[in-house]
């Protein structure tokens, strides 16, 4: 074939690419061609060929014609951000189509409103040896009209597509903001954001280049926070891919371990009990390796999950699984390899489905590794060279493990565990032992001792018999630590080799509050530990037993206690702990870590599930609070130098009212209707409330519902607190978000590790704003709650009550303890305490006051879930 004719795939006006407002198209970075300004709404095939790439966002297709020529049809400019909205596909990737066959339809009106431009580039993105010799430009075209002709180019001619043209590659240098650099979870996240796009993307750092589609390759770059990396992207969607990766690298949330950012004495309920239990990494200057205490019989370690336990040691060793090098034929080994990975994948998904959020997150990273293109390619190459599936998998894993170990970064080295875990699981299946490397019955009160532990080993253990874990190696941010914290199991890590010389059955006291393991305690030491455990157990049992009672102060003032939840499982746990309802459902959790937003039906189903789990108790559904520290990849926000002060909360919702309306409709569908309330985040003035109320009323009328739904607002900006009198006149109720209110009042980023200790919501400046808000609410007859982290802080409860806040929404696990605490205080005492606190100058002074006013002291962080006694 020497010529290829393309016919118009779309009715409209054909125009030169230079007219495109996007320099990527206008500058022919992706390839040569032309653009059509559409009047039609259906895209047809311009020639015969195979559809080789269709992104999940459905806004573009790439067609491979004869001779390997690839044509990209890209509907509109910046339409990737619509996340598929307004597009309907009529074909699937891999399908062969004939010229003139229908590919996709789109909503022209929606695109006209939301896209940067409707201009639809038709590009030859791959056409080595061909060039465009004729084009039908600057005229109206109907579908099927002649559009372009490609002819075989003389050897010296410039190729029509990007071919080997260096300009086809986009690149950008960015500084990495991910808190812990690019380790497994952010790497998996990066690979994830690229899934809907067809561009090839790589990152270059420290003189090495790694595919951004491969979690393992990314990890081997050893990128740390603030390192500069170059993003390189080529192919269709290169610009969108570049932007998506840049957004992911520039945001701090490469992991959802936000608790590590929380102020120490204020449990940050956003991340649940799991991460709240995690210790922070050791302070700079302290060795991270174990230090053997002078005191004989005492081993020190780094706290990875807080708590206290008494028990007997049992050492675990990681079994080395034998594999034969030689394979039994390429097709047999390939089939075995696929079977084993598929079985491990199914198991991991089952564990993730039933586990807490922390488990799901870790297993998600494991699933990404299991399908990692580099690992799989490496193993397949070895199988093709005659190796057994097991040998090939081990070889591929170990190559990455060696590269990670060579990095001078303890966090990367921790990720070695994840890889070895996967190695063992796949080898286990191949060897026929079921894929779980270790599932053993434990004697009661086991303190597990090991060099390190695989996440799958921990998940396979009978944790009801597990009292604690001591690791001679390991790190406080390892996945095992996160899982153990989620289970409420105390853990010390980096305890050094002496730990491994303990014989099984040695009696120990594990104090993961102080970072100590007492070996062979004498009777006195044992008695002290046992009685402390008894005390904690009794207190917890008594608090739990009384948790279903109404919460009242000692002199009878009713305090309503709600829970902050993120799922139906958490809602059930909250009710068991005595919650009177949900005071804050952070709906954005349903929108994270996915490729497109949940539609109305999915949202309605999820909300209803939570409402049902609450058994008719109020459900306060906060509208999407994205932006700032909670970006979502499929909703690229304009670049912001300071996202915390940019499009966030209700501002983002008013910027994308279509998303808000879907959410409001889903909220209105909750039954019984009176159970749901809507709460708006990041309000700064009353007009925002009026706008949303208007939308809510329209949606309500559209479904013929007469009863209004309560509309409350979060007071989490100083503006809202100062304007709370006007805001209270517009809103049905107020809920104070102390996490953001503190960040914005003290001008301290809530994610800043250096400022974390000073970012204390008990600062008198914050308390004065709370006092003002409570006063405004009361004078307008509105309910006022606190739903930020301060509500979960025992030191704060009396002060908040004294300031006039009689509704608290907190982490479910602290409800029994706080109900009991409130029951021991009088309203007058709370008022007096609040009055004094408002006159102080620092948060430390307020904490000291709170501590002196109560016995036992209230300043200890609330960690009831961690006090393990077995």
Could you list the active site residues?
A: 479, 787
Task: Tell me the number of residues near Mg ion by CB under 5 A.
Answer: 3
Compute CA distances 33 → 55, 321, 395, 630, 802, whole Å: 21, 56, 46, 39, 70
String marking each residue 704-723 x if it binds Mg ion according to CB under 5 A: ------------x-------
Nearer to ligand PEP, 370 or 774 (CB): 774
Tell me the β-bridge partners of 584: 564
Minimum CB–partner distance for residue 788 and Mg ion (Å): 7
Instruction: Indicate which single residue of 737, 798, 812, 864 sits in contact with Mg ion (rule: CB under 5 A).
Output: 737
Minimum CB–partner distance for residue 752 and Mg ion (Å): 16
566, 589 contact by CB (below 8 A): yes
Give the number of other Cβ atoms within 10 Å of residue 705's Cβ.
14
Tokens of residue 65, six digits: 């014609």
What's the angle, vertex CA 196, arms to CA 239 and CA 343, rounded to 5? 145
What's phi and psi for 35, nearest 5 deg? -130, 155
What secondary structure letter does DSSP report for 661? H
Task: Tell me the number of residues near ligand PEP by CB under 6 A.
Answer: 11
Nearer to Mg ion, 421 or 740 (CB): 740
Rounded CA separation 837/855 (Å): 18
* SS3 state of residue 205: strand
* SS3 state of residue 621: strand
Minimum CB–partner distance for residue 739 and Mg ion (Å): 5
Nearer to ligand PEP, 696 or 770 (CB): 770
CA-based nearest residue to 560, from 770, 829, 818, 855: 818
CA-based nearest residue to 613, from 679, 566, 681: 566
Minimum CB–partner distance for residue 586 and ligand PEP (Å): 5
Binds 806: which of Mg ion, ligand PEP, none (CB < 5-8 Å by kind)? none
Sheet (strand 302-305) strand order: 298-300, 516-519, 507-511, 308-315, 446-450, 466-471, 491-493, 302-305
Binds 131: which of ligand PEP, Mg ion, none (CB < 5-8 Å by kind)? none
Binds 252: which of ligand PEP, Mg ion, none (CB < 5-8 Å by kind)? none
Binding flag, residue 739, ligand PEP (CB under 6 A)? yes
Binding flag, residue 792, ligand PEP (CB under 6 A)? no
Minimum CB–partner distance for residue 749 and ligand PEP (Å): 13
* SS3 state of residue 451: coil
Minimum CB–partner distance for residue 745 and ligand PEP (Å): 11
What secondary structure letter does DSSP report for 645? G
Nearer to ligand PEP, 58 or 270 (CB): 270
79, 59 contact by CB (below 8 A): yes
Minimum CB–partner distance for residue 720 and ligand PEP (Å): 11
Rounded CA separation 810/803 (Å): 17
String marking each residue 743-782 x if it binds ligand PEP according to CB under 6 A: ----------------------------------------
Minimum CB–partner distance for residue 737 and Mg ion (Å): 4
Stretch that binds Mg ion, among 221-229, 508-516, 735-743, 791-799 (CB under 5 A): 735-743
Nearer to ligand PEP, 370 or 679 (CB): 679
* SS3 state of residue 311: strand
String marking each residue 696-735 x if it binds ligand PEP according to CB under 6 A: --------------------x-------------------
Binds 793: which of ligand PEP, Mg ion, none (CB < 5-8 Å by kind)? none
Q: Which of the residues 556 through 585 are near ligand PEP (CB under 6 A)? A: 584
What's phi and psi for 79, nearest 5 deg? -90, -10
Instruction: Indicate which single residue of 417, 740, 760, 807 sits in contact with ligand PEP (rule: CB under 6 A).
Output: 740
Binding flag, residue 181, ligand PEP (CB under 6 A)? no
Alpha helical stretches, state H, 212-318: 215-220, 238-250, 272-276
Residue sitting closest to Mg ion (CB):
740
Nearer to ligand PEP, 58 or 750 (CB): 750
Compute CA distances 242 → 21, 175, 201, 635, whole Å: 18, 14, 8, 14
The H or E element that residue 230 is part of is strand 228-234
Binding flag, residue 787, ligand PEP (CB under 6 A)? yes
What secondary structure letter does DSSP report for 322? P
Rounded CA separation 176/161 (Å): 32
Q: Which of the residues 10 through 69 are near Mg ion (CB under 5 A)? A: none
Minimum CB–partner distance for residue 344 and ligand PEP (Å): 35
Instruction: Indicate which single residue of 586, 693, 782, 847 sits in contact with ligand PEP (rule: CB under 6 A).
Output: 586
What's phi and psi for 80, nearest 5 deg? -60, -30
Stretch that binds ligand PEP, among 39-47, 293-301, 367-375, 737-745 (CB under 6 A): 737-745
Binds 738: which of Mg ion, ligand PEP, none (CB < 5-8 Å by kind)? ligand PEP
CA-based nearest residue to 446, from 316, 536, 351, 263: 316
Instruction: Indicate which single residue of 359, 457, 603, 738 sits in contact with ligand PEP (rule: CB under 6 A).
Output: 738
Give the number of other Cβ atoms within 10 Å of residue 146's Cβ.
13
Peptide bond into 672 cis (omega under 30): yes
Instruction: Indicate which single residue of 78, 361, 699, 740 sits in contact with Mg ion (rule: CB under 5 A).
Output: 740
Tokens of residue 213, six digits: 């589609």
CA atoms within 13 A on the CB side of 799: 34
Tokens of residue 609, six digits: 């599930």
Tokens of residue 679, six digits: 């709460």
* SS3 state of residue 432: coil
Give the number of other Cβ atoms within 10 Å of residue 526's Cβ.
16
Nearer to Mg ion, 445 or 648 (CB): 648
Nearer to Mg ion, 85 or 740 (CB): 740
Q: Which of the residues 250 through 309 are near ligand PEP (CB under 6 A)? A: 270
Minimum CB–partner distance for residue 740 and ligand PEP (Å): 3
String marking each residue 606-645 x if it binds ligand PEP according to CB under 6 A: -------------------x--------------------
String marking each residue 432-451 x if it binds Mg ion according to CB under 5 A: --------------------
Binding flag, residue 788, ligand PEP (CB under 6 A)? yes
Nearer to ligand PEP, 333 or 625 (CB): 625
Residues 6 or more apart from 278 whose CB is under 8 A from it? 257, 259, 260, 304, 305, 476, 477, 481, 482, 485
Nearer to ligand PEP, 268 or 315 (CB): 268
Stretch that binds ligand PEP, among 85-93, 164-172, 606-614, 738-746 (CB under 6 A): 738-746
Minimum CB–partner distance for residue 743 and Mg ion (Å): 8
For residue 442, how far is the Cα from the chain centroid? 33
Nearer to ligand PEP, 233 or 271 (CB): 271
Minimum CB–partner distance for residue 789 and Mg ion (Å): 10
Nearer to Mg ion, 654 or 673 (CB): 654
Alpha helical stretches, state H, 124-237: 184-193, 215-220
811, 818 contact by CB (below 8 A): no
Interacting residues toward Mg ion by CB under 5 A? 716, 737, 740
Q: Which residues bind ligand PEP (CB under 6 A)?
A: 270, 584, 586, 625, 716, 737-740, 787-788
């Amino acid at each position: 074939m020497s010529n290829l004719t393309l016919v118009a795939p779309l009715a409209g006006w054909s125009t030169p690419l230079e007219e495109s407002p996007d320099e990527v198209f206008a500058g022919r970075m992706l390839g040569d061609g032309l653009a059509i300004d559409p009047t039609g709404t259906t895209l047809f095939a311009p020639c015969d060929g195979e559809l080789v790439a269709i992104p999940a966002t459905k806004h573009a297709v790439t067609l491979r014609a004869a001779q390997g020529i690839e044509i990209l049809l890209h509907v509109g400019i910046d339409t990737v951000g619509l996340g598929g909205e307004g597009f309907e596909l009529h074909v699937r990737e891999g399908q062969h189509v004939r010229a003139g066959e229908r590919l996709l339809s789109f909503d022209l009106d929606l695109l006209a409103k939301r896209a940067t431009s409707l201009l639809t580039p038709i590009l030859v993105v791959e056409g080595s040896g061909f060039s465009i010799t004729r084009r039908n430009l600057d005229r109206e075209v109907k579908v099927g009209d002649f559009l372009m002709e490609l002819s075989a180019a003389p050897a010296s001619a410039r190729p029509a597509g990007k071919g080997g043209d260096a300009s086809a590659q986009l690149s950008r240098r960015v500084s990495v903001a991910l808190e812990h650099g690019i380790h497994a979870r952010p790497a998996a996240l990066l690979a994830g954001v690229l899934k809907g796009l067809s561009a090839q993307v790589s990152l270059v750092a420290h003189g090495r280049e790694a595919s951004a589609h491969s979690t393992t390759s990314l990890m081997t770059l050893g990128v740390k926070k603030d390192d500069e990396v170059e993003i390189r992207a080529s192919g269709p969607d290169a610009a969108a891919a570049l932007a998506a990766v840049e957004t992911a690298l520039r945001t701090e949330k490469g992991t959802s371990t936000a608790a590590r950012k929380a102020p120490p004495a204020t449990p940050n309920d956003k991340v649940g009990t799991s991460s709240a239990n995690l210790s922070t990494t050791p302070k700079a200057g302290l060795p991270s390796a174990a230090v053997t205490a002078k005191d004989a019989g005492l081993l020190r370690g780094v706290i990875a999950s807080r708590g206290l336990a008494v028990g007997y040691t049992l050492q675990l060793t990681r079994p080395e699984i034998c594999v034969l090098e030689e394979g039994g034929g390429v097709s047999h080994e390939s089939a075995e390899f696929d079977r084993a990975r598929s079985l491990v994948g199914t198991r991991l998904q089952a564990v993730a489905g039933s586990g807490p959020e922390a488990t799901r997150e870790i297993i998600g990273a494991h699933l990404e590794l299991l399908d990692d293109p580099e690992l799989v390619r490496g193993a397949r190459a070895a199988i093709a060279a005659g190796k057994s599936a097991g040998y090939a998998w081990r070889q591929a894993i170990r190559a990455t493990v060696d590269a990670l170990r060579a990095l001078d970064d303890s966090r990367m080295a921790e990720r070695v565990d994840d890889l070895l875990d996967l190695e063992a699981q796949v080898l286990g299946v191949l060897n026929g032992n079921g894929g779980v490397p270790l599932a053993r019955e434990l004697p009661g009160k086991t303190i597990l001792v090991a060099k390190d532990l695989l996440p799958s080993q921990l998940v396979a253990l009978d944790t009801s018999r597990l009292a604690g874990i001591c690791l001679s190696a390991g790190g406080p941010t390892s996945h095992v630590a996160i899982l153990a914290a989620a289970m409420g199991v105390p853990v010390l890590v980096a305890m050094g080799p002496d730990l491994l010389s303990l014989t099984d059955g040695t009696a120990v006291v594990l104090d993961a509050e102080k970072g100590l393991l007492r070996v062979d305690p004498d009777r006195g030491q044992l008695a002290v530990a046992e009685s402390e455990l008894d005390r904690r157990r009794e207190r917890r049992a008594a608090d739990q037993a009384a948790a279903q009672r109404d919460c009242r102060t000692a002199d009878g003032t009713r305090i309503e206690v709600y829970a902050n939840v993120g799922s139906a499982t958490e809602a059930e746990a909250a009710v068991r702990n005595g919650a009177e309802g949900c005071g804050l459902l952070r709906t954005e959790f349903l929108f994270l870590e996915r490729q497109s937003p949940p539609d109305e039906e999915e949202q309605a189903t999820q909300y209803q599930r939570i409402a049902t789990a609450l058994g008719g108790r109020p459900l306060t559904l906060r509208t999407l609070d994205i932006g700032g520290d909670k970006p979502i990849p499929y909703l690229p926000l304009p670049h912001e130098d300071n996202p915390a002060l940019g499009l966030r909360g209700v501002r983002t919702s008013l910027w994308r009212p279509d998303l808000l309306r879907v959410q409001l409709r889903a909220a209105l569908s909750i039954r019984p209707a009176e159970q749901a309330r809507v709460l708006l985040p990041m309000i700064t003035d009353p007009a925002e409330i009026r706008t949303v109320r208007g939308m809510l009323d329209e949606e309500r009328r559209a479904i013929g519902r007469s009863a209004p739904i309560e509309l409350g607002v979060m007071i989490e900006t100083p503006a809202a607190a100062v304007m709370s009198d006007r805001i209270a006149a517009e809103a049905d109720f107020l809920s104070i978000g102390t996490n953001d209110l503190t960040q914005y009042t003290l001008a301290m980023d809530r994610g800043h590790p250096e400022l974390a200790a000073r970012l204390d919501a008990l600062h008198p400046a914050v308390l004065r704003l709370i006092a003002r808000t409570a006063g405004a609410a009361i004078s307008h007859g509105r309910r006022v709650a606190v739903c930020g982290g301060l509500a979960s802080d025992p030191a704060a409860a009396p002060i908040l009550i004294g300031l006039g806040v009689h509704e608290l929404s907190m982490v479910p696990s602290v409800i029994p303890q706080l109900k009991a605490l409130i029951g021991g205080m009088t309203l007058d005492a709370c008022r007096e305490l609040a009055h004094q606190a408002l006159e102080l100058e620092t948060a430390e002074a307020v904490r000291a006051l709170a501590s002196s006013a109560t016995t036992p002291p209230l300043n200890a962080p609330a960690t009831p879930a961690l006090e393990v006694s077995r």
